[in-house]
Amino acid sequence: MNKNLFKYIAFIGLLGLLFSCEKDETKVVMATSPVAPTIKTMPDLTLQRTKGNTVLEFTGTDVDPGFTASANYFLEACAAGTKFADPIAVISDIQAGSLKITVSDLNGILLKKFPADQVSSVDFRIRSVLVVDAGTGALGTSTNPLAYISETKTANVTVYGLPRLDLVGSGLTQKIESALGDGKYTGYVKLDVAKPFTLKDPDTNVSYGASGTALAVNGTGITASANGWYKFTADTKALTFSLESYMIGLVGSATPNGWDSPDQKMDYDAATGTWKITIDLVAGDIKFRLNDGWAWNLGGTTDKLTVDGSNITVAAGKYTIVLTITNPNAIKGEVGGTYTITKN
């Protein structure tokens, strides 16, 4: 009897050992002191229009939480000494080793916060956002992600002012700008079909308008096909222009029209380069999309909106929502922006 009992206890112990080993193999163990990302090098940030197509590179190191995991990285900037109370998102990527951006793109981003043609002291940091799993609401999941922040690096930055064309007669103070100073201008503008407009170069005092479908010096007023937001491009050398409907809106079961169009249109803020809306929502889901269609839409988390991403769940209430489109050319699965949502 005692011998059989001993064998039974040994067998149970062996099973326990096997199962504990199996569980140990699937455990995710957080390091006692996770290693935050770092900024290793920064480029010369005296930006020049003549070098607009030059690619600048910030290099860093990835976060090390103590286990193998993927993270999203955000290079952020703010006025020196403000402790990132109001940061600007500069670059987002899935690694911190090589963060690249062209001079013209960086200049356009920093112009939203810093004055042109003078030296500004700017703080930079890399913020990493780590998601271990999804759906539970626990620390490290998509609704409660882990964040690690690098040390702050301070640099002197000089951004350049952009040549511009002012819209005259549109009913709003609006302009389009040339990132490279090469006669090619672009920008988002809000147009009214009842208000034809012309363009004026404040540096040369030359006015442009339409001549049929072409651009012409002292041409007639340009008229939009419908009211709303447009991506407007003009080339004063080739004398061409185009107006492309560009209306970003909210759609979803939480919005007044549900999943049907028309979407709840957002307004563009040229000073910050963001799309904004204040709206009453019911409990449900929302997504962002372009021109009332599904060809280009964004969903996901506040720090990571991807093309065709998941629905965003909200509780009922009045909200101010601000969308930053970081990559308007993103394709399915790629990061296209970030957003903030504030209950009023």
Tokens representing 264 are 């709840």
pLDDT in tens, 115-141: 999 999 999 999 999 876 555 444 555
Q: What is the pLDDT of residue 140?
A: 52
Closest C-alpha among 169, 128, 171 to residue 147: 128
Same fold, 38-158 and 164-245: yes
Contact (Cβ atoms closer than 8 angstroms) between residue 87 and residue 74: no
Q: What is the pLDDT of residue 143?
A: 55
CATH number (1.10.10, 3.30.1490, 1.10.8, 2.60.40) of 38-158 reads 2.60.40
Q: What is the pLDDT of residue 70?
A: 78
Q: What is the pLDDT of residue 141?
A: 53
CA distance 56 to 99: 8
Tokens representing 23 are 């569980």
Handedness of CA 262, 263, 269, 273 (dihedral sign): negative
pTM of the model: 0.73
Q: Which fold has domain 164-245?
A: Immunoglobulin-like (2.60.40)
List CB contacts of 113: < 8 A, sequence separation 6 or more.
Answer: 77, 78, 79, 88
| DSSP character string of 116-174 | BTSEEEEEEEEEEEE--BSSS-STTBTTB-EEEEPPPEEEEEEB-PPPEEEEESSSS--
Q: What is the pLDDT of residue 271?
A: 84
Tokens representing 13 are 């112990």
End-to-end CA distance of the chain: 74
Closest C-alpha among 128, 147, 123, 154 to residue 38: 128
CA distance 94 to 88: 18
| DSSP character string of 258-307 | TTSSSPEE-EEETTTTEEEEEEEE-SEEEEEEETTSSSSEEEEETTEEEE
Q: What is the pLDDT of residue 14?
A: 35
pLDDT in tens, 135-146: 544 455 555 668
Closest C-alpha among 181, 190, 237 to residue 53: 181
Contact (Cβ atoms closer than 8 angstroms) between residue 284 and residue 314: yes
Q: What is the pLDDT of residue 65?
A: 85
Residue 299 bridge partners (DSSP) = 306
Closest C-alpha among 189, 185, 168, 179 to residue 268: 189
Q: What is the pLDDT of residue 34?
A: 83
Domain boundaries, the chain: 38-158, 164-245, 248-343
List b or e across 203-231, with b for residues whose CB sees 16 or more CB atoms inside 10 angstroms.
Answer: eeeebbbbeeeebeeebeebebeeebbbe
pLDDT in tens, 7-23: 333 333 433 433 333 44
Q: What is the pLDDT of residue 263?
A: 98
Q: What is the pLDDT of residue 146?
A: 83
Q: What is the pLDDT of residue 133?
A: 59
Residues of the chain with pLDDT under 70: 1-32, 68, 132-145
Q: Which fold has domain 248-343?
A: Immunoglobulin-like (2.60.40)
